[in-house]
Amino acid sequence: MSETQKHTKPNVPNLRFPGFEGEWERKRIGSIGSFFSGGTPSSSKKEYYGGVIPFIRSGEIHSDKTELFLTEEGYDNSSAKMVKKGDILLALYGANSGDISISQIQGAINQAILCIRTDVAPVFFKSVWEKHVQRVLNTYLQGGQGNLSAEIVKSIPLFIPSSLEQEKLAGLFSHLEERIAVQNKIIEDLLSIKESATRYLLSHKEENYRNVTLGDITEIITRRNKNRINYPMYSVTNDKGFIPQTEQFEEREMVSDDISAYKIIQKDEIAYNPARINVGSIAQYTEQNPCMISSLYVCIKAREGVDSRWLIQVLKSEQFINYYNLYAEGGVRLYLFYPNFSRIKVALPPLARQQQISKTLDAIDQKIKLESSVLSGYRHCKQALLDGLFL
């Protein structure tokens, strides 16, 4: 045996169910099935829409319902094509490029979706695609620009085991996907409960509530890092609140050489991005030790007699998110700086009632955080299994 042969790695995964032997076969995707995309009926023809045929767009491939429906006339007078429940759907264009699903409905697809019909177990195919999708996107969508195509997809090689081993793997990942779907539903329901509870608790007014402005109950903070202390650098995000920049930028901090202009924020204080507060970029800092944030952020704190946890629940509520655009100023981009922010009106409950409200809403937030952690665990488990069980 030659040295090359001695060191050639067999085409088998690192982990394998007991009882399976032999190498996996390397095939190009184009050799294992049939492929087609659809089209979009003319949007100027009202008679083409409002029928009974579900019209699946790339952002809906995971859903069991669609926003648009086609008439028979619309379907017949376009290049839209029908897919069946159980077909593999792959998004080709835009932000969803590379997204894959197994269709939950029978309906028509547009040109942004590639339907794949193959003898390979659909869940197996979906799983192995998910293992390699980021590499595919990095290869064919340079800098996040461009689209996939049927020809690109068909040219990609995969390693495929026997049909029996495919089904064994598909069974495992079907159970895992079901558990992830259930966990997602739990979180969606909790978010709905939070939204309803927030709307009720913050809009319900009693006689002892006072009408005030945000300027009456907050004060601006202009504390700078004049002593050049090397505090950790944080950012404020829409969904996660305050996060270390090492987490946001893959172990790096985007910090300039001169750190004296950065703002210092302490526990329970609030910061927001004046250009993005209207999409929820506002959060309360909850760590014990101070941190640095960009000088562009507006920093505030609750005045005496105001519960800071109640305040942040108000400021992050849907009602106030909608207010921010009304008070923002600017040209191409709107900004909400403190002078206009301070003019926004709010109904202020007594302190004890503020604390009751914040305690209730914080409890829901903690439950959402816990369930989100469980979901993250399932997803990490799935990724580990993809790495170990597939080539």
Instruction: Encode pLDDT of 127-182 as tens digits.
Output: 999 999 888 888 887 655 568 899 999 999 999 999 999 999 999 999 999 999 99
The answer to whether the CB of 297 falls within 8 A of the CB of 236 is yes
pLDDT value of position 3: 43
How many residues comprise the chain?
Answer: 391
- DSSP assignment of 35-65 equals EEE-----TT-GGGEEEEEEEE-GGGTT-S-
Tokens of 226: 């004049």
- DSSP assignment of 364-391 equals HHHHHHHHHHHHHHHHHHHHHHHHHH--
DSSP state of 322: H
* CATH number of the 25-160 domain: 3.90.220.20
- CATH superfamily for domain 165-206+350-391: Bipartite methylase S protein (1.10.287.1120)
pLDDT value of position 1: 35
pLDDT value of position 8: 61
pLDDT value of position 254: 60
Residues 6+ apart with CB under 8 A from 67: 57, 60
Q: Which among 183, 163, 186 is positioned nearest to 175, based on CA atoms?
A: 183
All residue ranges of the chain with pLDDT < 70 are: 1-9, 142-146, 248-255
Q: How far apart are CA 313 and CA 280, in angstroms?
A: 11
Q: How far apart are CA 34 and CA 28, in angstroms?
A: 12
Residue with tokens 């505090």: 231
Residue 263: which H helix or E strand, with range?
A: strand 263-265
pLDDT single digits (tens) 42-91: 999 999 999 999 999 999 999 999 999 999 999 999 999 999 999 999 99
Within the chain, all domains assigned CATH 1.10.287.1120 are found at 165-206+350-391
Q: SS3 string of 160-219? A: ECCHHHHHHHHHHHHHHHHHHHHHHHHHHHHHHHHHHHHHHHHHCCCCCCEEEEHHHHEE
What is the topology classification, in CATH, of domain 210-348? Adenine-n6-DNA-methyltransferase TaqI; Chain A, domain 2 (3.90.220)
pLDDT value of position 250: 57
Tokens of 14: 């690192």
The answer to whether the CB of 97 falls within 8 A of the CB of 126 is no
Q: How far apart are CA 8 and CA 182, in angstroms?
A: 42
Within the chain, all domains assigned CATH 3.90.220.20 are found at 25-160, 210-348
Residue with tokens 């390979």: 120
Tokens of 22: 């032999």
Residue with tokens 């495929």: 160
DSSP state of 72: H
